[in-house]
Structures are given as structure tokens and as C-alpha cells.
Chains A and B, each alone.
Chain A
Amino acid sequence: MLNNLILITLLSTASAQDFTVLAEEQSAPFEGVLLSVPAAAEVLTRYEEQLMKCDLEVEYQLDRAGTECKLDKDLLNARIETLSKQHDEIVTQKDLEITKYKEIIKKQSPQYKWLLFAGGVVLGGGAYYGIQRAAK
């Protein structure tokens, strides 16, 4: 495994993005960092691994946010449903209350109240007049 080595350039003798592959004991064409094959494999796979991890993290966070959003939606729907039912119930009860109040008011204010009032005045006046006459 150590027969072959990879050299990645970092310093002045090569340009910024040069690299080469060396056999064991072979002289390097420029100054740089020498990696073993497993280390080179690590460098190569790390990039792909980080890409996959990044995609996974994005997907996971999106799914999590979606689930949290769904929870908020469910909670709000439950609240809306309850408030809607509460509103309906209060309106129904108030309507019932108003109907009963109307019945009471209707009993206290009969339809011919002015006729009854006039009858009362006439009756009172007549009684007063009759008593005065009788007293004389």
C-alpha cells in the first residue's frame, strides 16, 4: 500500500492547484504534502460524505419544520373549531334568552294596553261620580 503515494501541492514550486502521484522512492517534482493512500481516500470521500450529510441535514430540518408547522396548524384548527362551536352555542343561548324575555315583556305589555288604560280612567271617573252622587 505504501508503494504508491500521493502528493498534493501547497507551496511555491508548483502552481496553486497542482498535484501528482508518486511511487515509493520516486523523487517529488515539487515541494508539498504527501498523503498515504488511505489518507487520500479519506480526503476524496470526505467531500462526498459532507455533501450527503448536508443534503440529509437539510432534508431532516425541512421535515422537522414541516412537522412543527403541521402541529401548529392542527392546534390552531382545534382552537378555531372550539371557538366556532363556542360562538354558535352562545348565539343559540342568547337567542333562546331573548325569546323568553320577549314572552315576559309581551305578558306585561298586552296588545290593548291603551284601551285598558282608557277603560280604567272611565271606570275610575264613573265610580267617583257615582259615589259623589250617592253621598248627596
Chain B
Amino acid sequence: MKEKILAFCLKHWKEIGLVLLLLVVFGKSQYDVRNIIKAHEISEQSLRNQIATLQSLHADELELRDQALERYRIEIEELELEYEARQEEIKGLTRIEKEIIIREFKQDKALIIQRFEETYGLRYVE
């Protein structure tokens, strides 16, 4: 039996060698394909991680933007309220000032003359 196998191997050693070589090439190509798949998986995992982080960062940025816009809205609202209050204050001051001028005119005309001179630079004529 052993002699038969040996004779067969010796007779067909090239074919056997070719089959062994093909097996080695097949094994190596399988190994390479596994490595390529592994590299692809690494790349995919990396991209998945990046997407997840970017989504989280985007959500954080939106929150920061919303907070900034809310602060802006509140500040503008406060400014407008203060602006309106100051306008009312000016109106009130002007009304009081008018009353003072009218009263002053009755009491002392020199005061109104002085006011015209100081405010508009006009010259009083007797």
C-alpha cells in the first residue's frame, strides 16, 4: 500500500505540488480578505464613532446657540423697557420744566430772558 502511494506521489508529484500551491494561495487570499474585512470594519467603526460624536457636539452647539439667543432676547427686551421708561421720564421732566418756566415768568422775567440767552444765544433788547 505504501509503495503504491509512494509510486503515485512520485508519478504525479507536479500535480500534487500544484494542488498544494493552490491551497497555499487560497489560504493566503482568504487571510488577506479577512484582513481587508477587518480594516473595513475598523474604518466603519471609526466613522460610526465620529458620526455619534458629531451628532452629540451638534446638539451641544444648538443648545449653546439657543442659550445665547435667549440671553439676547432677554437683554433686548430689558433695553427696550428701559428705553421706553427713559422716554417717559424725559416727557415728565419736560412737562415739569415747562411748568417751572411758566411759574418763573410770573415771578421773575429775568429768569426767562436768561434762559433764552443761554439756550439759543439770543440777545435781549429792552
Contact = CB atoms under 8 A, between A and B. Distances in A.
Interface residues of A, number: 58
A105 to B, nearest CB: 9
Decide if the interface of chain B is mainly helix, strand, loop or mixed. Answer: helix
Nearest to B72: A71
B112 A93 contact: no
A48 interface: yes
Q: Chain A's interface: helix, strand, loop or mixed, by majority? A: helix
Interface in A26-65: 29-30, 37-38, 40-42, 44-49, 52-53, 56, 60, 63-64
A44 B116 contact: yes
Contacts of A93: 46, 49-50, 53
Interface string A75-97: 10111011001100110011011
Nearest to A74: B68
Interface of A: 1, 4, 6, 8-9, 14-15, 17-21, 29-30, 37-38, 40-42, 44-49, 52-53, 56, 60, 63-64, 67-68, 70-71, 74-75, 77-79, 81-82, 85-86, 89-90, 93-94, 96-97, 100-101, 104, 107-108, 131, 134-135
Interface of B: 10, 13, 32, 35, 38-39, 42-43, 46, 49-50, 53-54, 57-58, 60-61, 64-65, 67-69, 71-72, 75-76, 79, 83, 86-87, 90, 93-94, 97-98, 101-102, 105-106, 109, 112-113, 115-116, 119-126
